[in-house]
Structure 1
Amino acid sequence: MLWLYLNFTHLQLDSSFCGSAYDGNLAIINNDHQIVQLTPHAYTSGLKLGMGLGTAASLCHDLQVHSYDPHIEQTKLKEIARWLYLITSDITLFEPNGILLKISDMLSLYSNIEHYWSIIQSHLQSFNIRYDYSTGFSPFSAQILSQQKTHLITDNKEVLKKKLYALSLSVSGLPHKTVEKLSRVGIETFDDLLAIPMADIAKRFDIDLINYIGKVTGRFKHPVEFYHPQQTFKYSLDLLYEIENVQWLEKPLSKLLKKLEHFLKLRDQIAHEIEVVLFLRNKQNTSFIISSAQGEYLAVNWINLSKLTLESISIRSPVIAISLSTKRVEQQANFNTDLFTGQQGKTTALELMSVLEAKLGKKAVSRPSIAPDPRPEIANSYSSPLSEQLKDPLFKPKLRPSILLPHPERLTDEVSIAHGPERVATGWWDNNPVIRDYFIVQSHDGRWLWVFRTPKKQWFLHGIFS
């Protein structure tokens, strides 16, 4: 068996969005006020891991500090695992910041281990995170070599053994008492430990050490639980500084949308709806939906729609994190263009609809629709832009005005009848009866009007032709 371990040493810091502040001096500290993560720039300022906060502050006056949160790293680790699952299987999480890959079976899909590793590296570039890595002949050996920054990619077991056996037992992960007990009898390295027969070790040490040796050497089976992510896109981004202006969210949101593009492209899918959640400092989170009527996968198109949507979003508290998830996706369809018709324009009707909905809101966008009903108030209405339109009407449409008044108004002008009457007597089945005689008339100022006469000889204006 061959394994690959990825150790994300600065996961909380690297996976957070801090914009230009990433070039500054940022540090993550634990509960003991010791530095556990640093930006690359902070290292050049003389700061080191394990350094106390007081010492660090005296060396760097502009140091920005954030508390370590294992929950953030666990969430990010799962996001990375979901991302890696697109190109490799058999993934095991070592929370809060490690990922183990079983690569023995995957090598049959790639030309060699170097090719496989180049694909992994390229796939992780979108996260822009630092990590240590190493292969190993067992899960424990890969983990130990990775944590010691070995950066070794090989399937040569002898080379891996040589690197592992030279390490001190202080990095083995064994209990401190066990390491001290071994040291007292002159066993300092893996080479020293593994040179002793198992029977002799069993006489002086407990069964846990025997099991450890068996697992680290690969003699004993090391059961691991493989991770199987949901086949949906859901990623979050923590901000290392608070954002009060929603327009400034465009840049961090773009980072998530680029991940979405890659996610959909690999699956040959398009998304129709995505949900953005803004996590606010006062815990009253804000969420909104961005829609694309025809479906999109390109980040640049989603970015344009998000800019329009953000114009109508208001927040009462600073934003500290963002999450993005897909709500409705489907497989990409091949749209064939008529050879003789050609491209009619750069913007399709569905694209225009998406832009209008993002700018004005879904409730503000509708389309006229016609129902098979003789009553004008019911036959003419507004419906959802995507609603099914009547393709084969049950009756031949008659001449109707382009402008229909919301409510009929009493006719006050003198008119001359040009066409009519057209009797409309219907609606008895739904308790909304209508009996009218419609006429097309012309007013003295030249306007063409649509009027009707009731059985009581009352005249009303209902529409305007021109």
Structure 2
Amino acid sequence: MLWACILFPQLALDSILRERDDADAPLVLISGPVQRRVLQAVNPAAAKLGLRAGQALTAARALADGFTCVEADPARIEQLQQLLAAWAYRFSAQVSRHYPRALLLEVGSSLQLFGPWPAFEARLRQELAELGLRQRIVLASNPVAARMLANAHDGLAVTDPNETRAALLNLPIDRAGLPADTREALMRMGLRRLGEVMALPRDALAKRFSAQVQVHLDQLFGLRNLGLGFYLPPDRFEARLELNFDVESHQALLFPLRRLLNDLAAFLAGRDCGVQRFALHLEHHEGAATVLLVGLLAAERDAAMLFELARGRLEALTLRAPVRTLRLLADDLPAFVPQHQALFDPRAQQSQPWEQLRERLRARLGDDAVKGLRAEADHRPECAWQGAEQGAPGTLLVAPGSRPGWLLPEPRLLSEAGLQLLGQAERIESGWWDGGDVRRDYYRIETRDGLRGWAYRDLAQPGPLWLQGWFA
């Protein structure tokens, strides 16, 4: 088995920066009691001002100004770690959150699907960068070794027990995950590397230190197994994003909306499903939240597509009050079937599949503006074509091209100048039983511009041609 450890060294800070559109501005993460606020983490812009983690907030304010302070939020970090576990589940069925700020993945069985480790690792790094997260990745032959080696390495890949042991023996003691008192005692003894510790008699270590130290060392070198609990994806997605200030315009909501939908897409990819309906709650300072419902006719999980659909509906919404928080809920998560595509796609590069175009039109124009057509068992064209919901089955099959796809709301008088009649007339006599009796001769016509239509003469009142519809 091969285990990859993905360590997120700045997870708390990244959980804030990924939600801001001014990530390059000086920002610090603070924690601690009100009497003594401490800088927990600083971004690069704040570091250039001379700020550093562990510094008192009062000292930081005396040293520099113009930086933003954000309170560390454990709930936000937990939500992000849940999302990361769902994302990693896409690559391995054995994903563990045993260690904080880290994911353990068994990837030995995944290499046949995702390619050799260098390509697999590059894909993991690219997707995590798109999620706005910094990472360190190490591959080792057991999960404890992978996690501890990630303390001192990034990009290390040791694929067999002997290579793993050699890398561990060279690991600094302060990076090996030992308890603080054990680490200090070993360093007072003049030991600096884990290999020096392993060279000591086992019985002497057992007498001097607690049994947990020996258990940890055995797990580190693969002599004992670590009992891991594995992640199981939930049946719904929920994410909440607090905004930096009251937002009154749709444009300012687009950046946080995109981030939420990117997270939703990562979750869906991990569960190998799509979303057919989700709700965006726009929470205000007072009163009930404004709820924006987004429904699709088929399951989708492309982040760009979901964003376009949500943006189209959001721009048509009137905000009754400034927005403080965005909350995204999705519990209709059916199986996702990728669209079938030919090896050589004849469509132009900029053209879209019909399903995506249909959803864009519904988002822009409204659900009721895009309808399907259903053929009914009636010879009269105005009665045969009936509007229907997309995908609703009809009661009658119609041969393609036998009837026009576009019927005019009312027949229109047609000048016969320059018209060409194509073929013989088709007579329709029907409707005597419901008072809508018609007797008509229908002709396929072609205009001088090359347009093809469907026109008729009324046999009850012989006269000119009346245009009923157009062929595609």
TM-score by length of 1: 0.69
Residues in 2 aligned to 1:87 and 1:98: alpha-carbon distance in whole angstroms: 15
| Residue of structure 2 equivalent to 1:430 | none
1:194 to 195, 198, 206: 198
- Which of 51, 56, 61 is the aligned partner of 1:47? 51
Amino acid at match of 1:28: L
1:7 to partner: Cα distance: 2.0
Compute the displacement of 1:310 (Å): 0.7
In 1, the alpha carbon distance for the partners of 2:94 and 2:199 equals 32
Q: Secondary structure of the residue that 2:97 maps to in structure 1?
A: strand
Q: 2:80 & 2:202 partners in 1: Cα distance?
A: 40
Are the structure 2 counterparts of residues 20 and 348 from structure 1 closer, same or farther at C-alpha, using a change threshold of 3 Å?
closer
SS at match of 2:22: helix
For 1:119 and 1:264, the matched residues in 2 are separated by 17
Residue pairs, 1:258-407, within 5 angstroms: 273-278=276-281, 280=283, 282=285, 284-293=288-297, 298-315=302-319, 316-323=321-328, 325=330, 327-334=333-340, 353-363=358-368, 366=371, 383-391=388-396
Take 1:140 and 1:421, find their aligned partners in 2: how far apart are those partners?
81
Matched, 1:220 2:221: no
1:161 match: 168
SS of residue matched to 1:21: coil
Q: Does structure 1 conserve the Cα–Cα contact (< 8 Å) formed by 2:15 and 2:76?
A: no
- TM-fit CA distance, 1:350: 5.5
Question: What is the one-letter code of the residue matched to 1:29?
Answer: I
Q: CA deviation at 1:22?
A: 0.3
Report what 2:210 is aligned to: 206
SS of match in other structure, 2:170: helix
Structure 2 letter corresponding to 1:208: Q
Cα 1:277–1:438 change in 2 (3 A) is: closer
**Distance change >3 Å, CA 421–CA 276, structure 1 → 2:** closer
Residues 439-458 of structure 1: matches in 2 within 5 Å? none
Rounded to whole Å, the distance in 2 between the matches of 1:141 and 1:268 is 30
What's 2:9 paired with? 9
Counterpart code for 1:391: L
Extract unaligned runs of 5+ from structure 2. 399-407, 412-428, 440-456, 459-467
Shift of 1:309: 0.5
Are 1:245 and 2:249 counterparts? Answer: yes
- 1:116, distance to aligned residue in structure 2 (A): 3.9
Q: Give the match's secondary structure for 1:213.
A: helix
Check 1:108–1:352 CA distance in 2 against 1; reply closer, same or farther (3 A cut): closer
Structure with bigger gyration radius? 1
Compared CA separation, residues 6 and 285, structure 1 to 2 (3 A): farther
1:320–1:94 distance in 2 versus 1, CA, 3 Å: farther
1:120 aligns with 2:121: no
The 1-side partners of 2:252 and 2:61 are apart by: 30
Distance across 2 between alignment mates of 1:113 and 1:350: 36
Structure 1 residue 299: deviation in Å? 4.5
Amino acid at match of 2:336: E
Distance 1:336 1:179 in 2: 61
Structure 2 Cα separation of the partners of residues 123 and 263 of structure 1 = 12
Q: Take 2:59 and 2:82, find their aligned partners in 1: how far apart are those partners?
A: 34
Identity between Structure 1 and Structure 2 (%): 21
How far apart in 2 are the matches of 1:114 and 1:255? 28
* 2:156 matched residue in structure 1: 152
Residues 140-182 of structure 1: per-residue CA shift (max 9 Å, x gap): 3332332345653334235412332x333xx544444444555
1:327–1:92 Cα change, 3 Å = closer
- Counterpart in 2 of 1:410? none
> Cα 1:288–1:95, aligned 2, differ >3 Å: closer, same or farther?
farther
Quote how far apart the aligned CAs of 1:275 are: 1.6
1-side partners of 2:147 and 2:9: how far apart?
A: 13
1:2 shift after superposition: 4.7
| Separation (CA, whole Å) in 1 of partners of 2:113 and 2:275 | 33
Number of equivalent positions: 410
